[in-house]
């Protein structure tokens, strides 16, 4: 995991609409970047829908929400449309941001070991530094936990 207070790694990736999005596009704003394993899986869908349900809370605090997985732009578009997701989903098939943020890790499931994205959320401050690290977050409470954190620091 990246350390609190360190510079957030820069990234430039395609969003669900095929537009190029860079972290630097949001300089001066607080950004929530959440990494998730895969579109349309039960946990990832619950997490995305929780962010969607809480989106007005993020917007009222002037906080940008970005979800990143290794899924394709086309997969992200279908996922965003299916669940009416109002925030940015970035496609990282080359694992650029995923590895830079140290969320590509060994995972164990039913005794089988494989590499994959560990569900992790970072809050990046307006100066581009890591403000909060939330490893192995719970899909259902991640968005609400971040809002509670933001209310404690603002």
Q: Are strands 88-91 and 63-69 parallel, antiparallel or unpaired?
A: parallel
44 catalytically annotated: yes
CA 27 to CA 22: how far, in whole Å? 10
Q: Which residues pair with 14 in a beta bridge?
A: 20, 91
Q: Which of 33, 44, 85, 90 is catalytic?
A: 44
Token pair recorded at residue 116: 């994959």
Alpha helices in 13-141 (DSSP H): 42-53, 55-60, 73-83, 96-100
Q: Which residues are catalytic?
A: 44
């Amino acid at each position: 995991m990246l350390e609190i207070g360190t510079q957030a790694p820069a990234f430039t990736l395609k969003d669900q609409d095929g537009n190029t999005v860079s972290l630097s596009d949001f300089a001066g704003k607080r950004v929530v970047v959440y990494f998730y394993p895969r579109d349309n899986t039960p946990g990832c869908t619950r997490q995305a829908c929780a962010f969607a349900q809480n989106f007005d809370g993020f917007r009222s605090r002037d906080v940008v929400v970005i979800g990143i997985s290794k899924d394709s732009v086309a997969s992200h578009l279908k996922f965003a449309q299916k669940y009416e997701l109002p925030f940015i989903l970035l496609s990282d098939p080359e694992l650029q941001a995923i590895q830079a943020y140290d969320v590509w890790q060994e995972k164990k499931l039913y005794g089988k070991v494989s590499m994959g994205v560990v569900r992790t959320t970072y809050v990046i401050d307006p100066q581009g530094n890591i403000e909060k690290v939330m490893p192995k977050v719970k899909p259902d409470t991640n968005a609400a936990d971040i809002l509670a954190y933001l209310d404690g620091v603002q």
